[in-house]
Amino acid sequence: MKRFLRLENASYGHFRIRVQVFAMARLAALLAALGLGAVPAEARLLHVVALGDSLTAGYGLAPGEAFPDALARALKARGWDVEVANAGVSGDTAADGLARYEWSVPEGTDALIVELGANDMLRGLDPAAAEAALAQVLEKARSAHVATLLMGMRAAPNLGADYQRRFDAIYPDLARRFGVALYPFFLDGVAGDPKLNQKDGLHPTREGVARIVAAILPAVEGVLAEVKP
């Protein structure tokens, strides 16, 4: 008798599973008919490269505290399956970043964050040269179909009004020209604040990086949303 009950229960359980599978299939067909589609497949890992200078590299910070590391943690906390490669080199100008583009931004990169130009400004280099180099970086990214976020920089006022006007115009002009997303000023809310900068007054502390990441995060997420699955 007990053996019969076990067999009966097993048969009933199998029947329930078949009914559930049939119901799920009917539901999927109904959703497809309504144009709602099926449940999307698990999202793939997104490869992001942060191409920049010492502000990206993490000058003066401990390992794991640089902008790309902090950004990756913030994105993962918001559910993104992402890795952010630190392609920052201290002292790089826009031309330096362009010169190493091929090995800094490998094939398979999904999104690019460009943070260059601060050293051009600090050295008083011609804004036209910085703009030309950045334009080539953006053209390479566009040709490779890499979603791009351009980080703006602003000139120090002691360089004069004309230089400041020409330099500050580089980033919005390039963003319009190449149709890329622009974050107007990478150091917004951090520049000039001694509590958020190291003793040199130029490079953010760990707290400064956290402020930068919190402000930039929506712009980065907007660029990641452009990446095709």
83 and 5 both lie in a single domain: no
How far apart, in whole angstroms, are the C-alpha atoms of residue 54 and residue 33? 54
What are the tens digits of pLDDT across the range 158-185?
A: 999 999 999 999 999 999 999 999 999 9
Q: How many structural domains is the chain composed of?
A: 2
Among 69, 110, 168, 203, the active-site one is 203
Containing structural domain, residue 16: 1-39
Vertex 147, ends 142 and 153: CA angle to 5°?
90
Respond yes or no: is residue 54 known to be catalytic. Answer: yes
What are the tens digits of pLDDT across the range 28-55?
A: 444 444 444 433 334 689 999 999 999 9
pLDDT reading at 15 higher than 80? no
Respond yes or no: is residue 90 known to be catalytic. Answer: no
Among 54, 69, 104, 120, the active-site one is 54
Respond yes or no: is residue 203 known to be catalytic. Answer: yes
How far apart, in whole angstroms, are the C-alpha atoms of residue 175 and residue 133? 14
Residue 35 lies in a domain: yes
pLDDT reading at 66 higher than 80? yes
Identity of the amino acid at 208: G
26 and 133 both lie in a single domain: no
76 and 165 both lie in a single domain: yes
